[in-house]
Amino acid sequence: MNPINHVAIIMDGNGRWGLKKKKSRNFGHEKGLLTVEKIIKESLKNKIKYLTLFAFSTENWKRPKYEISFLFSLLEKFLKEKINDLNKNNIKLKIIGKRNFSKRLNKILYISEKKTIENKKLQINLALNYGSKSELVYAFKGLKKKKQRINETNIKKNLETSNIPDPDLLIRTGNTNRLSNFLLWQLAYSEIFFEKKLWPDFNEKDYNKVLKKFKKTKRNFGNI
């Protein structure tokens, strides 16, 4: 049975879910947040050490302004209301991605990370304004600046995930089979599970099914 240390998730399908319910895309995001809470709880139960969630990509800025503002206000509300709960549950929050948000949001992110920095049970890596290609460009610039040799160890050291083991598995909901510029380096040997359900419909049972399937997968890392 494979141990599970790190699960990465592309939470896709909120917008379609909202429209399917004859409501708005933002309604879907609101419901998607409830799934986030369920999956965090279930990750704790499963003793998973790292959970990386793709909440906003560098490409998501192309969306209508009102949707972008809604997503960030949802995030702000979530952190304000839940950071103490996360802290009590020994959960560490880490943001990955470029932080060029409003002064207020940057401050909330900073405070949330600081508050939970010593926590050990589960680390949530929230990918915000994250894009894997720009992360890699930044890493290579770092290597050049520090005059480090180009090798795998040094590239990893310069990524935002430098202290985080690579994901064992990636789950993408929403019936779309692509990586969307998410953790391209880190997912090199991860098992990938594309799920048909839209993110707001994805539940604990679905999550546990994927984890069970993963545990039984033969991982050979290029060996036979």
**Minimum distance from CB of 76 to ligand FPP (Å)?**
8
Q: How many CB atoms lie within 10 A of CB 145?
A: 9
Q: Give residues with Cβ within 8 angstroms of 90, minimum separation 6.
A: 119, 120, 121, 122
171 binds ligand FPP (CB under 6 A): no
Is the CB of 126 or the CB of 170 nearer to ligand FPP? 126
195 binds ligand FPP (CB under 6 A): no
Catalytic site residue 12? yes
Catalytic site residue 158? no
Is the CB of 124 or the CB of 139 nearer to ligand FPP? 124
**Minimum distance from CB of 68 to ligand FPP (Å)?**
10
Is the CB of 11 or the CB of 211 nearer to ligand FPP? 11
CB 19 within 8 A of CB 25: yes
Q: Among 7, 27, 29, 164, indicate the residue that binds ligand FPP (CB under 6 A).
A: 29
Q: If residue 45 lies in a helix (H) or strand (E), which one and from where to where?
A: helix 25-45
DSSP characters for 122-148? Answer: EEEEEEEEE-HHHHHHHHHHHHHHTT-
Q: Give residues with Cβ within 8 angstroms of 36, minimum separation 6.
A: 11, 53, 78
Binding piece for ligand FPP, criterion CB under 6 A, among 42-50, 69-77, 185-193, 203-211: 69-77
Instruction: Report the SS3 class of residue 9.
Output: strand
Instruction: Report the SS3 class of residue 88.
Output: helix
203 binds ligand FPP (CB under 6 A): no
CB 116 within 8 A of CB 88: no
Binding piece for ligand FPP, criterion CB under 6 A, among 9-17, 107-115, 137-145, 202-210: 9-17
Catalytic residues: 12, 60
- Site residues (vs ligand FPP, CB under 6 A): 11-16, 29, 32-33, 36, 55, 60, 71, 74-75, 78, 126, 174, 199
